[in-house]
Amino acid sequence: MKRIIRIGSRESALAVRQAEIVMQAVLESDPDIEFELVTIRTMGDKILDQSLDAIGGKGLFIKELEQALLDNVIDIAVHSYKDLPYAEHPDLPIVALSSREAPFDVLVLPDGSSELDNSIPIGSSSQRRSIQLKRLFQDIEIQPVRGNVNTRLAKLDLGIYSALVLAQAGLQRLGLRQRITRVFTAEEMIPAGSQGILAVQSRKGENCAFLAEFHNWQSEVASLAERQFLRTLASDCTAPVAVFAELNGNHLLVRGMTVDTAGQAVFGHLVGDAARAQSLGEQLAMQMIERSQ
């Protein structure tokens, strides 16, 4: 008899696609598993007329899914790891991480456009992105934009924005690679911590052995550094902080960004042994705290 796993996801097309990625990967290695998809509308999806900062941060995208786990409505939940606060729920551990999809941010122009119109604002609700955008496009206004990927693209194509800055991974997972105009390098724009990685969350003590082959250790190493960086800075998911760890053999390059007391961006990087990933994240954060004061 097949084991039925109830997998929880937000209702958006991207969230459902991300749940499908997990399901497909597991079924390839364990055909005795059967999935039941349960979609849940979160508070972050319901309130679209206010910034995330004003209504409680990206944690609003996960609270209902976590409650569904605690209430035994679902067995596992799939999240974009960048949306999970660094202080994770003690009874709801992360039990598996996906391989990292393209981790960078991208510039998206209106359909049919080939040049940025400086008279119209760029759409971005992320302080992290906005701070770094101002270094690249000094003479253009940046205004917030909310909604799922397709909603944002529709606003862009209506001419409300000259461009959007989005996560490359999300567009690629939705089959929208052709909308990407420019991929920002890590030197140009440091991504959010754990961007491009899917996290599977479950209840403490649950048997999640079926996820063993899905779990990616490179993503785990990078996230250990990135999330410790955020934890040391005591940064939530909406703070203007960026961090990206690149694994090259046994070496890990960690890049970070924060802001000083005057609100100016401070950048730093550190290279070390990948076995010390968590320590590297903490060390870089401590260095940047000293430089920010």
DSSP characters for 173-194? HTT-GGG--EEPPTTT----TT
Q: What is the pTM of this model?
A: 0.91
- The sign of the torsion formed by the CA atoms of 111, 112, 115, 116 equals negative
Q: Which CATH class is domain 105-183?
A: alpha beta
| Active-site residue identified among 83, 117, 139, 260 | 83
pLDDT tens-place string over residues 224-271: 999 999 999 986 555 689 999 999 999 999 999 999 888 889 999 999
* Residue extents of the structural domains in the chain: 1-99+197-215, 105-183, 216-293
Of the candidates 229, 231, 240, the one whose C-alpha atom is nearest the C-alpha of residue 262 is 240
Homologous superfamily in CATH for domain 1-99+197-215: Periplasmic binding protein-like II (3.40.190.10)
Q: Is 83 a residue of the active site?
A: yes
CB 229 within 8 A of CB 282: yes
pLDDT tens-place string over residues 104-130: 999 999 999 989 999 999 999 899 999
Homologous superfamily in CATH for domain 216-293: Porphobilinogen deaminase, C-terminal domain (3.30.160.40)
Tell me whether the CATH fold assigned to 105-183 matches the one assigned to 216-293.
no
